[in-house]
Each structure stands twice: as structure tokens, then as C-alpha cells.
Amino acid sequence: MLSDNTFDTYPFITSQDNFIPMEKLLKVLGQEHVLEVLEFIQAHGKANFKDLKGLTKHPASVSRALRKLKDRKLIERAVLNDERRSVEYTLTDKGKCLVPIIEELKEIEDS
């Protein structure tokens, strides 16, 4: 379970440079395919768009989820081999901090 000081330890809340208000963070996490994308990247360490578009029948929604996560600095986008089409996504430190919180929220949802 989340303790009273759990949120004090996460940089996406405590660091002024990376601050995301909780309301905005929850709004982003609640958007279509955002959690699936985060979980896929976390489980595999990295992902490309081809991997992620298999999560849904609508690749545009994966693109939107990636954009939202990148805008919030929860994932990084790296272009490989100087080809714009060859892109890899990884979790940032801030994105990695969300993993245990998401797991805790899922436990609450399942109980």
C-alpha cells in the first residue's frame, strides 16, 4: 500500500524542474493507451512504434499516447541510425518512478 510519504520520494512530484501536478499526471495516465504503452516499455526495457501499435487497432491513439508521455518527460524518444523512421522509446527516471505507483493503483482497483 502507499504510505503517507510515498509521493514525497518521487522526482516527478518533488523536483521543481520536473514537476507535474498530480491532477495533470492522473489525467495523462487516464488517457487512452497511456498505461498500456508505459507498461509495455517497462516490461521490455524499450520499444519501437511497430511493437507498440500492436496494442490496439488504432495506431493513431498509440501516437497520441507517446506524444503525451514524451511531453510530460515520462519517456524518451531516440532516433537510431540517423533514420527518422527508426525510433526507440525508453522510460525516463521519472517514468520509472511511476511503475510502483501504477502497480499500487492497480492493486487498489482489483481489491
pLDDT at 100 over 80: yes
Tell me the C-alpha distance between 92 and 82, whole Å: 21
CA 14 to CA 39: how far, in whole Å?
Answer: 23
What gap in Å lies between CA 59 and CA 40, rounded to an integer?
15
Q: Give the pLDDT confidence of 70-97 residue by residue, as tens digits.
A: 999 999 999 988 766 789 999 999 999 8
CA of residue 8 relative to chain centroid, distance: 19
Residue 22 has pLDDT above 80, yes or no: no
| 75 φ/ψ sector (left φ>0, alpha ψ -120 to 50, else beta) | beta
Could you read off the pLDDT of 42-76 as tens digits, one per residue? 999 999 999 999 888 889 999 999 999 999 999 99
The CA distance from 15 to 21, in Å, is 11
The mean pLDDT value for 86-109 works out to 89
